[in-house]
Amino acid sequence: MVEKKKSGYWLTHAGLIIGVLFIFFPVWLTFVASTVNQEEIINPPLPLWPGTEIFENYYHALFKGGREGYGSNEPVINMLINSSIMALGITIGKIAISLLSAFAIVYFRFPFRKTCFWLIFMTLMLPVEVRIVPTYEVVANLNLLNSYTGLIFPLIASATATFLFRQFFMTIPDEMVEAARMDGCSPMRFFIDILIPISKTNIAALFVILFIYGWNQYLWPLLMTTDPDMKTIVIALDAMIPAGDDFAHWPTVMATAMLAMLPPIAVVIGMQKFFVKGLLESDK
Amino acid sequence: MEKRVIFKGWWLPALLVAPQLIISFLFFFYPSGQALWNSLFLPDPFGLKTEFVGLDNFKFLLTDPYYLESFKTTIFFSTAVSFFSMAIGLYLAALADRLIKGAGVYQTLLIWPYAIAPAIAGVLWLFLFNGNIGLVSYYLKGLGYEWNHTLNGDEAMFLVILASTWGRISYNFLFFLAGLQAIPKSVIEAAAIDGASFWKRFFTIVIPLLSPITFFLLVVNIVYAFFDTFGVIHTITSGGPEQSTTILVYKVFSDGFVSQDLGSSAAQSVILLLVVGVLTVVQFKYIERKVHY
């Protein structure tokens, strides 16, 4: 930048490294705790360097549901599958219905178009946290408790995604529709062959944001899933934390915590460019 | 803004918006209407019949010391989380923006906690501060401080603020960094040539230019602290000890599902709806007259 002072340069790095250490600190210790044995954890202090039990801990967490003598859980692999289905269901569902309604609102004139737009806008003001009890009753009346449908559908309407696509469709030149219409292209043909391919980047950006949103859902699955084999990994992890003087096999718990964090972190780092774009654009 | 060239027909677009509208009605509008309706009734203790009580549920809430206490807790909590996560985010973004090379590396190293669920962030910090095995509480004991957030309300509040702030830094960092990088370098350079120091430039030029983004982040962070931190509270303290960390959303949950006090829970939902409504309108007002530098 402007100055070239050496001391300022090193101070900048030092400040950033302190920030990075603060960010990494709890996750690193969680990782360490998932690689040691129970004795090393219950006799503090916890070592700062990984131990040797990594394969045993992750194997037991993933496939056995914990160690013998510590109570049993569902194998974590099942919860990972539940979380994946929920996260992908919410992501794909939100993107699909938002693309459809944005297409209708931008490219057609139909009665109550403005009303539809405002109704979708209003859902922004109704997060699941403020309408939990009645929403729970609706889902219970539809017999959808402990089902993937019940986990996914109440979270699927998205004003944000609809607005983002609407905004993007508005920037597409009119000549494109004109040309398509002159070639005798039907509306759905235009939607599938032209609109979706040119929206690819926006879809990818939204995918990252919505996948994280779906994976990290907490309150809704907490109420919805009473069946142990329908629990998502985030809910299951909370249930593994011992209350009061209960015992827990901590390395297994911490391995589960690592497994619960890994998929969304992998998506953020692997698709970083889309993540940054999605975050900066979708929240505005 | 409207398209000039459009497709004809009305049944196709009606079909296209139908999925979103059906889901919105079933899971958004109908339940919200129910909350509004239920807030006017009081079920008897056996749940056999309900009695219309008008605004009594609201009157009761607004004079209930526990509810007012929960309001205060929420305001304190969300102010602290918004302030600290924005301050640290801005500090790190300002540093990263100074670098010619390497800002991208730091960005990668700092943004991934966005992917961590608030509930998991809660578990990580709970583990570090656990009274028996936690590393931090162990060293605090070495310093002669007995940490016990299950008994001490202030410590519990500190811990939920710490966990929520930690998980939120990456979000604020990313927005501030984008905002800083959008400031034309020539403005900063002109000030530097006139002899303004880094901090002088930061406070007199950069901060004012960042004010639109700061305002936006403030609203978004308050919404986050009000609603999305439910997972942190539920994993670390369950609202305790003695309601010291019971924020409003947690109270809707515990009154509605744990104590089954449906009239009061519905009235609380309605109050929260108003809060979100106001925050959303404020945010959209901001977007309408967004300042471009």
**Integer-rounded Cα radius of gyration of chain A:** 24
Q: Which of residues 211-250 of A touch B (CB under 8 A)?
A: 212, 215-216, 218-219, 222-223, 234-235, 237-238, 241, 250
Distance CA B90, CA B121 (A): 21
Q: Of B227, B276, B278, B274, whose CA–CA distance to B251 is shortest?
A: B227
Nearest Cα of chain A lies from the Cα of B238 at a distance, in angstroms, of 11
| pLDDT reported for residue A269 | 92
ipTM of the complex: 0.89
Of the residues B6, B27, B110, B172, the best mutation for testing chain A's interface (the one with the most A CB atoms within 10 Å of its CB) is B27
Residue A165: count of CB within 10 angstroms of its CB: 24
Q: Is A145 on the interface with B (CB under 8 A)?
A: no
| pLDDT reported for residue B89 | 95
Q: Which of residues 176-215 of B touch A (CB under 8 A)?
A: 178, 185, 188-189, 192, 198
Nearest Cα of chain B lies from the Cα of A31 at a distance, in angstroms, of 10
| pLDDT reported for residue B293 | 36
Which residues have a Cβ under 8 Å from the Cβ of A275 and sit 6 or more positions away? A205, A208, A209, A267, A268, B111, B114
Q: Is B104 on the interface with A (CB under 8 A)?
A: no
> If 0-12 CB within 10 Å is exposed, 13-18 middle and 19+ buried, where does residue B15 land?
exposed
In a domain? residue B194: yes
3-state secondary structure (DSSP) of residue B50: strand
Of the residues B57, B112, B259, the best mutation for testing chain A's interface (the one with the most A CB atoms within 10 Å of its CB) is B112
Residue-level pLDDT, tens digit, chain B, 293 residues:
577 667 888 889 889 999 999 999 998 889 888 888 888 888 776 666 777 887 888 888 888 899 999 999 999 999 999 999 999 999 999 999 888 788 888 999 999 999 999 999 999 999 999 888 888 988 888 888 888 888 888 999 999 999 999 999 999 999 999 999 888 888 888 888 888 887 888 888 888 889 888 988 998 899 899 988 999 999 998 887 888 899 999 998 888 888 777 788 888 988 988 888 888 888 777 665 554 43
In a domain? residue A30: no
In a domain? residue B22: no
Q: Is A173 on the interface with B (CB under 8 A)?
A: no
Q: Of A155, A185, A190, whose CA–CA distance to A169 is shortest?
A: A190
For residue B22, the chain A residues in CB contact (below 8 A) are none
Q: Is B170 on the interface with A (CB under 8 A)?
A: yes
In a domain? residue B47: no
Q: What confidence tens digit (pLDDT) does each residue in A125-148 have?
A: 777 777 888 888 899 999 988 999
Task: Enumerate residue ranges in chain A where pLDDT < 50.
Answer: 1, 284
Q: How many domains does chain B have?
A: 1
**Residue-number span of the structural domain to which B170 is assigned:** 66-288
Distance CA A34, CA B108 (A): 24
> Residue B42 — φ and ψ, nearest 5°?
-125, 115
In a domain? residue A147: yes
- Pick the residue from chain B with its C-alpha nearest to A12: B95
In a domain? residue B278: yes
In a domain? residue A44: no
In a domain? residue A89: yes
In a domain? residue A140: yes
In a domain? residue B280: yes
In a domain? residue A26: no
In a domain? residue A20: no
Residue B118: count of CB within 10 angstroms of its CB: 23
Are A20 and B109 within 8 A, CB to CB? yes
Cα separation values, B25 from B30, B34, B149, Å: 6, 12, 42
For residue A100, the chain B residues in CB contact (below 8 A) are 16-17, 19-20
Q: Is B157 on the interface with A (CB under 8 A)?
A: no
Enumerate helices (H) and strands (E) in chain A, giving the number of each: 16, 0
Q: Of B250, B229, B282, whose CA–CA distance to B67 is shortest?
A: B250
Can you state the percent helix, strand and coil of chain A, rounding each to 5?
75, 0, 25
In a domain? residue B40: no
Size of interface A-B (CB pairs under 8 A): 301
In a domain? residue B137: yes
CATH number at residue B166: 1.10.3720.10
For residue B91, the chain A residues in CB contact (below 8 A) are 15, 19
Distance CA A190, CA B77 (A): 50
In a domain? residue A105: yes
For residue B13, the chain A residues in CB contact (below 8 A) are 104-105, 107-108, 110, 113
| pLDDT reported for residue B168 | 94
Q: How many domains does chain A have?
A: 1
Q: Of A158, A192, A122, A110, whose CA–CA distance to B14 is shortest?
A: A110
Q: For residues B168 and B160, is the Cβ–Cβ distance under 8 A?
A: no
Long-range contacts of A20-28 (CB under 8 A, 24+ apart): A20/B106, A20/B109, A20/B110, A22/B166, A23/B109, A23/B110, A23/B113, A23/B166, A23/B169, A23/B170, A24/B109, A26/B121, A26/B124, A26/B125, A26/B127, A26/B128, A26/B166, A27/A261, A27/B113, A27/B116, A27/B124
- Pick the residue from chain B with its C-alpha nearest to A255: B124
For residue B42, list its beta bridge partners.
Answer: B51
CATH number at residue A80: 1.10.3720.10
Are A134 and B34 within 8 A, CB to CB? yes
| pLDDT reported for residue B46 | 66
Are B5 and A137 within 8 A, CB to CB? no
- Pick the residue from chain A with its C-alpha nearest to B94: A12
| pLDDT reported for residue B40 | 87
**Residue-number span of the structural domain to which A255 is assigned:** 54-284
Distance CA A179, CA A172 (A): 13
In a domain? residue B60: no
